[in-house]
A = this chain, B = another copy of it.
Amino acid sequence: MSEPTEFLAAAEALLGSRGFTRDPDLMDPWLTDWRGRFSGKALALLSPSSTQEVSRTVRLCADHGIAIVPQGGNSGMCGGATPDASGNAVLLSLRRMDAIRSLDTEARQIVCEAGLVLQTLHEVAARERLRFPLTLGGKGSATVGGLISTNAGGTQVLRHGVMRDQVLGLEAVLADGSIFNGLTVLKKDNRGFDLKQMLIGSEGTLGIVTAATLRLLPETGGRSVAWAGLKSIGDARKLLLLAQDKAGHYLEGFEVMPQHSLEAVLAHTPDTRNPLTDIHPWQALIELVGEPGEAADLPAIVEDILAAGMEQGLVDDATIAANESQAEAFWLMRDEIAPAERAVGPAMQHDISVPVARMADFVEAAIPQVKARFPDTLPVAFGHLGDGNVHFHVIGPADAVRGQWELDQGKTISAYVHDLVTEWGGSISAEHGIGQMKRDELGRLGDPVANTMLRNVKQALDPQGILNPGKLVPLAPAP
C-alpha cells in the first residue's frame, strides 16, 4: 500500500501538532504492548483532545478507508491495543482526553473521559469521601476507556462486579464518526435493547469509547484483612462459603495462591515476608470492607470465620492484619504474584473462568492433567476463587529459553488448557478479553452461534471493518 499522503495531511491539519505525530521516538513506546509480547507499526499516532475531534478523525479515516487501533494506557493483556505489522492503521490514543466533566456527590456519579487513569479516578473520588469500587494491578496506567472496552475485572469483583457493573452511561464514536450519546443516567430506560451494553467489552471493534458516567460508592468504613494457610483449594472453596455465610455483603475479596506462587513472590519481591510461619500448600487472602456508619465489627467477623475454619479442619494457620500497613503488605503479596512468576522463568498464562462452584474441582483436576500431558512443566493456579476465575500459568522447565520456549511449546499448551476449560463449560477469557492473542482460539472453541452473532453485529456496525481490525471478532470458518 502506498502512503496515503492526502489522508495524512488532512489528519495533521485536523489535529495539529499536539494531536498528530509520525515521529518514531514518540510512537515507538505505544507500538508494543507493555509486556513486550505484541508489536506493530502505524501510519501515525493520533491524539484527539475532544469527542468532536475523535468524531472528525474517525470520519476522515472512514472516508479514506484507514483502519484505526484505539488505545488507552497500553496495559492490556491480549494485544487488543497493538496494531498489526502492516503499518496501514493509525493508532488513536485517547490519553489526552482525561477530563472529569462532572461529579455529582449526591447521586454518586462521575462523568469522565476515556483517557482518565484509574489511579486518578480513585484519588478524585477519595477527595469527595467516595470510592470507585474497581481496582487492578495496572491502575497507574489503565484508563477508563480501556477498562470499559475490555470489561475489566480485578480484585473487587466478588462484591462489586466487573467494569460493566460500574458503567451507568456511555459516550462513543461509531465507525462512521457519529457520536452515540448515552451519558445521561436513567435508572429505568426501555427504549430498545441496551446499546451501551453492546459497546462495553467490545474492545474498540464496534465503537471508540470517549466518555462514561460511572457509579461511585461511599468511602469504606475500614477493612479487615486475613491470611490463612490451607491444605487444598477444595478447603479454600469451603472456607469461601463459610466466609460468605458469615460476612455477607462485607466480603469484598477472596484470593487464593498456591505454595509455588508464594515462594516466587518471597524470592523475587523485595521487602516481602510470609505472614505465617510456614508456607502451606494453599494460602487464602480474605478481605472484609465496611461502610461508613455501619456498626459491623469486622475483625470479630473475620476471627469468627477463621475460628470456624479451624474447627472444621479447613484452616491450618491464620493471621489477621493488625493495621493498614500489614493489610497493604498482605495485598502486595497477592499483587506481585504475576511479576514474580514471570521472574522465575517463561510461562504460558491463561485467564480462565468456570462456574464459581466448580473452580476448586477444576483446578484439582486440571493441574495433574496438564502435568501428565506436559511432564517438564509446572502448572500453577492463583487468583479470584470467589469469582470462579483463576490465572492458570504453565511454567516452563528450568532450562527453557525465554522467548523460544513459548514459541515452541506455548501454543500446544494453551490449546490444551483452553480445551480443558471449554469442556468444563468455562471461558477462555475471564477478565482480560480476546484481543489479537485469543481471537483464533475463540474461533476454534467459541459457540459457533455466538461467533456468528459477533461477526454479524460487527459487520452491521462497522461494514468497512476499520475499527480495530483483527481483534476479538473471530474469522468465519472456512467454507
Contact = CB atoms under 8 A, between A and B. Distances in A.
Interface in A96-112: 104, 106-107
Contacts of A104: 357
A194 interface: yes
Contact of A199 (B164, B189, B193, B461): B193
Contacts of A473: 192
B193 A202 contact: yes
Contacts of A193: 197-202, 206, 454, 457
A9 to B, nearest CB: 29
A291 B245 CA distance: 12
Interface string A426-455: 111111111000000010001101101110
Nearest to A178: B449
Contacts of A433: 190
Contact of A198 (B184, B198, B427): B198
A197 B194 contact: yes
Nearest to A448: B178
B453 A174 contact: yes
A456 B452 contact: no
B431 A190 contact: yes
Interface string A194-227: 1101111110001000000000000000000000
Contacts of A190: 150-151, 153, 201, 427, 429-434
A373 interface: no
A244 to B, nearest CB: 10
B180 A450 contact: yes
B197 A248 contact: no
Contacts of A449: 174, 178-181
A153 B188 CA distance: 8
12 contacts: A151-B190, A162-B188, A179-B449, A180-B449, A182-B450, A189-B429, A190-B430, A193-B201, A195-B450, A195-B453, A198-B453, A457-B460
A101 to B, nearest CB: 15
A456 B461 contact: yes
Interface of A: 104, 106-107, 150-151, 153, 157, 162, 164, 174, 178-182, 184-195, 197-202, 206, 241, 248-249, 291, 293-294, 353-357, 384, 387-389, 425-434, 442, 446-447, 449-450, 452-454, 456-457, 459-461, 472-473
A415 to B, nearest CB: 16
Contact of A434 (B191, B426, B456): B191
A448 to B, nearest CB: 8
A450 B179 CA distance: 9
Contacts of A293: 248
Nearest to A432: B190
B248 A185 contact: no
A374 to B, nearest CB: 25
Contacts of A248: 291, 293-294
A185 B430 CA distance: 12
**Among the interface residues A106, A150, A197, A389, which one has the most CB atoms of the partner chain B within 10 A?**
A197
Contacts of A199: 193
A205 B179 CA distance: 24
A453 B461 contact: yes
Given A174-B449, A186-B353, A450-B182, A200 B194 contact: yes
B442 A191 contact: yes
